[in-house]
Amino acid sequence: FKKAPKGLSDSEKQESLKSQVVQLNIGGHVFSTTLGTIRKFPNSTLAGLFNGSTKRMDSEGRHFVDRDGTYFGYVLEYLRTERLPTEHLQEVHKEALYYDIKPLVKAIEETPQFFGETVGRQQFLARVPNYRENLEVIVRVARAEAIASRYSNIIVCVVRTEDDLARYNHAIDIYFSKYTKYTNISVLVVYL
């Protein structure tokens, strides 16, 4: 960074540094902003990139971050205005987590879209019998099936016991019949 001009008070030097323009290369996407914007949340990882003495620079002298920069503009806009984006909330949330910008993470998590999706997912999982207990088995069977073939004609359904199989057999038949009726797909029912 350039040093503040001599003869300025400490507060004037701070203001001079805050207004210093910096360029960033985030995975090939180039952004220009002020140092004050980048350091808006001093405890963030993003601010930390500009506090240390080890900086990664690209061949043009811009600060380089080896990360996809597609959604960084939304993060930068939040740092400038504190207005949330209206689109790509999932992706911007991931960026906010990566750069550890806690106020942005919190603000996105409190939006109706993001909060609603989280609650909806939790309600769905609560209705799947024994989901947590069977998750490891579901993943193991699905992984083995994926490894066996990149394309599969088998749908895997996991239930905990034979009693569960008997209890849900009719529902399984009805649900999966739409897949097996007109295609060469088989349903593999696994119970623990």
Interval 103-120: pLDDT, tens: 999 999 888 887 777 677
The vertex-90 CA angle with 84 and 94, nearest 5°, equals 90
Q: In what order do the strands lie in the sheet with 21-26?
A: 29-34, 21-26, 63-65
Map residue 188 onto helix, strand or coil: strand
Task: Compare 160 and 44 and report the one with higher pLDDT.
Answer: 44
pLDDT of residue 53 exceeding 80, the answer is no
Map residue 84 onto helix, strand or coil: coil
pLDDT of residue 188 exceeding 60, the answer is no
Going from the C-alpha of 82 to that of each of 41, 108, 155, the distances in angstroms are 11, 11, 46
How many CB atoms within 10 Å of residue 91? 14
pLDDT of residue 170 exceeding 90, the answer is no
Residue 10: which pLDDT band, with cuts at 50, 70 and 90? Answer: low
Stretch 109-132: mean pLDDT, rounded? 75
Alpha-carbon gap, residue 14 to 48, rounded angstroms: 17
Interval 66-107: pLDDT, tens: 999 999 999 999 999 999 998 999 899 999 999 999 999 999
The strand ranges marked E within the chain are 21-26, 29-34, 63-65, 154-159, 186-191
Domains of the chain: 10-116 (3.30.710.10), 129-191 (no CATH)
pLDDT at 105: 93
Terminal CA-to-CA distance of the chain, rounded, Å?
A: 62
Task: Compare 178 and 40 and report the one with higher pLDDT.
Answer: 40
